[in-house]
Amino acid sequence: MSKKVALSACLAGRNCRYNGELKGNPDLVKRLEEEGWIIELFCPEDACFGTPREPMDLVATDEGIKALSKYGGEDRTGCLADYAEKFFDEHPDIALFVGKARSPSCGVATARLYDEAGHLIDETATGVMAAEAKARGIEALDDEAY
Ligand code: SF4
C-alpha cells in the first residue's frame, strides 16, 4: 500500500489560515513521519483566494451544500472543488487524508453546516476537499481523530 498522506498545510505549520494565524500540529506531523508516511500538503483556500481572506461557511442550499463567504455570501465552492479534483488527480497514490477539524474545506466529520438563515444545523458535516477524498474512497480523518 502507498504510504502517502494528504495533510492540511496549516497543520504542518504553513501560514495559510484565513486570518494568517499559525495553527500547526507538530506532534501529528512527527507521528506521521515516524510511521513512515510521505506527506503531501494542500490548502485549497489559500490556492483559490489567498491569505488572509474572508472566512467561509458551509451552507445547505436548494442546490446542495455550498461554501459561501461568511459576510458577502459569495459562492466559493467551484474553485475549492476544482482544486480538490486536480490535487487527487495529480496524486493518485494518496492512501490517507488528514484534514483540519471543523474547516469548511478540510473537516472530515466535524465541519459546521448552516441553513440559509444562518442557523447551525449540523456539526458533523464534511468540507469540500474532504468530500472529494471520501468520494474517491480514500480513508479520511480529522486531525483530532488521527
Ligand atoms: S484548514 Fe484547509 S483550507 Fe483551511 S487553512 Fe488549513 S489547509 Fe487551508
- What is the per-residue pLDDT across 45-72, written as a single tens digit (0 to 9) for each? 999 999 999 999 999 999 999 999 999 9
How does pLDDT run across 91-101, given as a tens digit for each residue? 999 999 999 99
Average confidence score pLDDT of the chain: 97
Query: Residue 106 C-alpha to ligand 1 middle, in angstroms?
Result: 6
| Nearest C-alpha neighbor of 7 from the set 37, 34, 46 | 37
Is the Cβ–Cβ distance between 47 and 32 less than 8 Å? no
Query: Residue 4 C-alpha to ligand 1 middle, in angstroms?
Result: 19
Q: Work out which ligand 1 atom sits closest to the CA atom of 41.
A: 7
Ligand 1 pocket test, candidate residues 18, 69, 100, 102, most atoms within 8 A of CB: 100
The number of beta carbons lying within 10 Å of the beta carbon of residue 51 is 16
Phi, psi torsion values for 140, nearest 5 degrees? -135, 135
The number of beta carbons lying within 10 Å of the beta carbon of residue 66 is 21
Q: What is the predicted pLDDT for the residue at 92?
A: 97
Q: Work out which ligand 1 atom sits closest to the CA atom of 17.
A: 5
Q: What is the predicted pLDDT for the residue at 2?
A: 73
Q: Work out which ligand 1 atom sits closest to the CA atom of 103.
A: 1
How does pLDDT run across 110-132, given as a tens digit for each residue? 999 999 999 999 999 999 999 99
Confidence category of residue 87, pLDDT binned at 50, 70, 90: very high
Phi-psi region of 53 (alpha: psi -120 to 50; beta: other; left: phi over 0): beta
Residue spans per domain, the chain: 4-145
Nearest CA to ligand 1 atom 5: 17
pLDDT above 70 coverage of the chain, percent:
99
Confidence category of residue 1, pLDDT binned at 50, 70, 90: low
